[in-house]
Chains A and B, each alone.
Chain A
Amino acid sequence: MTKKRISQALLIIILTLGAITMLVPFIWMLSTALKTAPETVKVPPTWIPKHMQWQNFVTAWHAAPFLTYFINSLIVTTVTTIGQLFTTILAAFAFSRLNFYGKNFLFALFLSTMMVPGEMLIIPNFVTLSKFSLINTYGALIIPWLASFFAVFTLRQTFNAIPNELYYAAKLDGSSDWHFLWTMMVPLSKSAITAIGILEVIGSWNSFMWPLIVTNTAKVRTLPVGLNAFTSDAGTQFQLLMAASTFVILPMIIVYLCLQKYIIAGISKSGLKG
């Protein structure tokens, strides 16, 4: 038994070292965010700031329109996620329970589009959105992301696992498809829907390339794009850059820590999201 104990202790030591390595950038970010400017460039670097500079967060927050960026990110993430869940639930139901002409064709068509890198679609989508004069509006940030076949594919699998008997019984009771979907299927698939939703929240909040391309004023910029713009203003004031990075990262860390089990279950079930 002692041999097992030693190997467990060894495992924990190795994993702890690894975990610390993974966390170092976050600790370093926080540590720098709380330093005075001279302390950030001290050699050798210090881990615990001499005097905690909490006002760095306030200074950084006011150094750029971060409130606007924050509200924009909040609006874009919320609307995108809710909208995408709505279109996903309806489409997954059609693919899982309804019979229609062209079902297999449509499914195969969507599956094959998943191979296409999204970066390739940026150019025509930019042209489309300019035609509708949507560049530099919330519309450009939200509308293209209101549907995801990846999400439909994942949810359809969860829907398929719900026994058909429930559907028959509801039909016999005279319940409509619509009613059955929202009162049975959706509540029964709560954890899958939550997982899809959270992955979309994280993806949308952190998204950079698309918002960078379709926004050109602070008014509609999201946090990552705003933070990137802030780097040229902040220059070498590392404590302010790290303070700003902290409040961009923090909301998703909170979401993750609260809803960790759904995120991991979601990735485990669907496997791909890259």
Chain B
Amino acid sequence: MIKQHPTIKSTLIAFAYLAPMLIITLVFNIYPIFKSFAMSFYTKYDFFTDKVSALGWANYKFIFSDPDFYLSVRNTMIFVLGVVPFSVLLSLIIALLLHRVRFLAGLFKTAYFLPFVTSTVAISLVWQWIYNDQYGLLNAFLSHFGVHPIDWLNDPHWAMPALIIMTIWKGLGFNIILFLVGLSNIDKRYDQVAQIDGANAWQRFIHVTLPLLSPMTFLVSVTSVISGFKVFDEIFVLFGGSPGPGKSTLTIVFYLYQKFYSEWKYGIAAASGVVLFLLILVVTIIQFWYSRKHVHYA
């Protein structure tokens, strides 16, 4: 830096550069954070005039006595637990294979990543058709193994698995790319040294590759958990605007959407948003805490 210390002049210049970004983020990112917290306490609120005539804990009392809200938290947890471990494991395996293959690696990457760039709405419609109980591809395929047709999207037991399978499919490519970056950052000499010491391929994988890859495994897990908590588009389209048969795929964001957009209960919707934020925060902190013990930064 030429000038080590800021001056009033340098500050004014810098803020001229920052202004466009600053104005937008203040209005649409920072102010709404505080406003969300505030709105979650609005118990009498006129949206048209933005006038608040009563404040209190009623919105929180409402959601914590609403069975639908508990259901949405439960479903969100099931969704995250259904998607993240499989997605992380599967993308790790594919990345390890891709890292070793010497031909066609580029072509494979293109195929695995393709779902990630496609519109969730369009691709959910395609899956809706694949899951069709009478004419869908999946049931036709399963019938070769003697499986009776499953009503994936209308049976409350199968709606969540159907949603989970599609989500894993769509997000796989993104995680694979991250794992490939992690793998290419590992110094080959560690592996060579272990090989000289007589470690076999499995031992080298468990004791060398996996620990050195752990920061990336951690990053992939954290981002997958966070995006899992925010699932909405897939559900909305897959189940035609409904939260699944018997509310079996009602998630927190879907709950928020319903309260806000269908029922116009802004305070309750805001309170559920705050709970979503706190849940993500707590889960992320737990992951960071866990990582301090188990993630090895080389």
Contact = CB atoms under 8 A, between A and B. Distances in A.
Interface stretch (B63-71, B112-120, B187-195): B112-120
Contacts of B143: 44
Contacts of A232: 240
A22 B115 contact: yes
A99 interface: yes
A249 B123 contact: yes
Interface in B1-22: 1-8, 10-11, 13-15, 17-18, 20-22
A110 B137 CA distance: 46
A272 interface: yes
A14 B11 CA distance: 58
Given A94-B18, A119-B256, A257-B110, A99 B3 contact: yes
A71 interface: no
B119 A241 contact: no
A76 interface: no
Contact of A121 (B8, B32, B113, B284): B32
Nearest to B144: A44
Given A90-B21, A245-B123, A260-B110, A117 B129 contact: no
Nearest to B3: A99
Contacts of A168: 2
A272 B284 CA distance: 14
A267 B36 contact: no
Chain A residues touching B, range: 35 or more
Contact of A164 (B1, B230, B269): B1
Interface stretch (A50-58, A144-152, A188-196): A144-152
A137 interface: no
A223 interface: yes
Contacts of B108: 15-16, 18-19
A59 to B, nearest CB: 17
Given A98-B17, A245-B125, A246-B122, 12 more contacts: A44-B143, A86-B20, A90-B21, A115-B281, A117-B276, A120-B256, A120-B276, A152-B21, A171-B2, A208-B119, A249-B123, A252-B119
A84 B111 CA distance: 29
Contacts of B10: 98-100
Contacts of A167: 2
Interface stretch (B153-161, B203-211, B231-239, B242-250): B231-239
B216 to A, nearest CB: 9
A28 B135 CA distance: 12
Contacts of B117: 202, 206, 252-253, 255-256, 263
B97 to A, nearest CB: 6
A30 to B, nearest CB: 10
B137 A128 contact: no
B104 interface: yes
Contacts of B98: 15
B289 interface: no
Interface of B: 1-8, 10-11, 13-15, 17-18, 20-22, 24-25, 27-33, 35-36, 39, 47, 50, 94, 97-98, 100-104, 107-115, 117-123, 125-127, 129-130, 132, 134-135, 137, 140, 143, 169, 172-174, 177-178, 180-181, 219, 223-224, 226-227, 229-230, 232-233, 236-237, 240-241, 253, 256-257, 260-261, 266, 269-270, 273-274, 276-277, 280-281, 284
B276 A115 contact: no
A23 B112 CA distance: 8
A32 B18 contact: no
Contacts of A227: 119, 121-122, 125
B22 A124 contact: no
B250 to A, nearest CB: 15
Interface string A250-264: 001101110010011
B185 to A, nearest CB: 10
A252 B224 CA distance: 23
Contacts of B127: 25
16 contacts: A22-B173, A25-B126, A25-B127, A115-B277, A117-B230, A120-B256, A122-B273, A123-B32, A124-B36, A127-B35, A147-B20, A177-B13, A209-B232, A213-B257, A241-B125, A245-B119
A202 B14 CA distance: 31
Contacts of B30: 109, 113
A101 interface: yes
A234 B244 CA distance: 20
A120 to B, nearest CB: 4
A149 B33 CA distance: 15
